[in-house]
Structure 1
Amino acid sequence: MNRSSALLLGSAAFVVLAGSATTLVLSGRGDGPGPGPGAAAPVCARVNETDRDKAGLADHVAVIGVDKALGETAVDDLRQATAQVRVDQTLKGALPASFAVEQTVERTPAGLLAAGAPDRHPLLPGHRYVVGLNDWRGAAGTVTARTVWFAYPADADRLDAEKARWADAVAHQNPPRADPRCEGEPETP
């Protein structure tokens, strides 16, 4: 696990303090859902090792094109990047034709955006990706944000292979389940 892994939700930030294969310990800023300032809460992770696991955890899986970067919000050494995307093909779920999506990224010493995990490539304008997205809902149950769960490059030379790969993963997706080594209720942070 990358030392600076985090999940940023709008104005709320959760930073991974410690982690194992099955459990994360998150700390919050206190201005949104989750643990308050200085508090830590263990989160039992769901199994997400295979494409089928990831497809089962995502609310949506789609082929998207990134139209433009909308900006970044900094929290410590991490950034919440927002991009305007268009949907070329939906493989799971229902999505509008165009919308803003959020992704946690970090700056490398070279100044490039890097997501810190091999299955979360940073969304760059002018490129196409197969993404897994999760919806964040407000108190009224309406979608307030969509965040990237995974992103794989799918430009012209990789498009057909990635579409076939993820269509198969969606068709044979695994139901969300706790890692058998985990103690406690599983969550998808």
Structure 2
Amino acid sequence: MIVKDSEKTCDLSKGLVLLMATVCGFTVANVYLNQTLLVSMSASFHVSAASIGIIATLAQIGYALGNLLIVPLGDIFERKKLILFLLFAICIVLALNALSINKTWMMITSLVLGIVTVVPQIIVPLAANIASDHNRGKVLGNYLNGALNVGWTQEEILEAMLQMVIYAGFPVALNTILTVANEVFSEGTERNAKEKQNDY
């Protein structure tokens, strides 16, 4: 893959890493957090709790379609611009979703929201490309932590790792995956130790 001029390797600042990790966490939450609101939705739209489950299903279907149709566009268009466009689209669709007046409107906006909520799948390869070799594992570890904290499944994490292999090459990806795993597990161990100390 040819790296665009704007995606050349560099040392990412902590602020930029934090911003990108936060974006990953918040955007992927769009696909999952609606599940906690299904009962409230069924009451608001005066439909059965069983029938409102289609909202969560459509968000997941949209997410799959986004991975199929939008993520590959990162190889055609500049990823930074694509990410900004998708974030703008997410804001518009979320506003329309919040203004839903019936179940049909909510179904349509949930499907479209799932489609445009593929920002993490574009940010991860971007970060893999522009992070310097010695900093790549730590940077991607931050994104993975953000994803884990908002409920990414094992399959989605494996998909992100696969995309890293495709975009960064196997040797770099293998080294990065091992470094990321070490970062994530170390942070998790430290967090658990602090929580145990606070309990006492």
Report which structure shows greater RCO (CA 8 Å, sep ≥6): 2
1 or 2, which has the higher strand percentage? Answer: 1
Compute the TM-score of the two structures, normalised by the length of structure 2: 0.26
Q: Which has the larger radius of gyration?
A: 2
Compute the TM-score of the two structures, normalised by the length of structure 1. Answer: 0.27
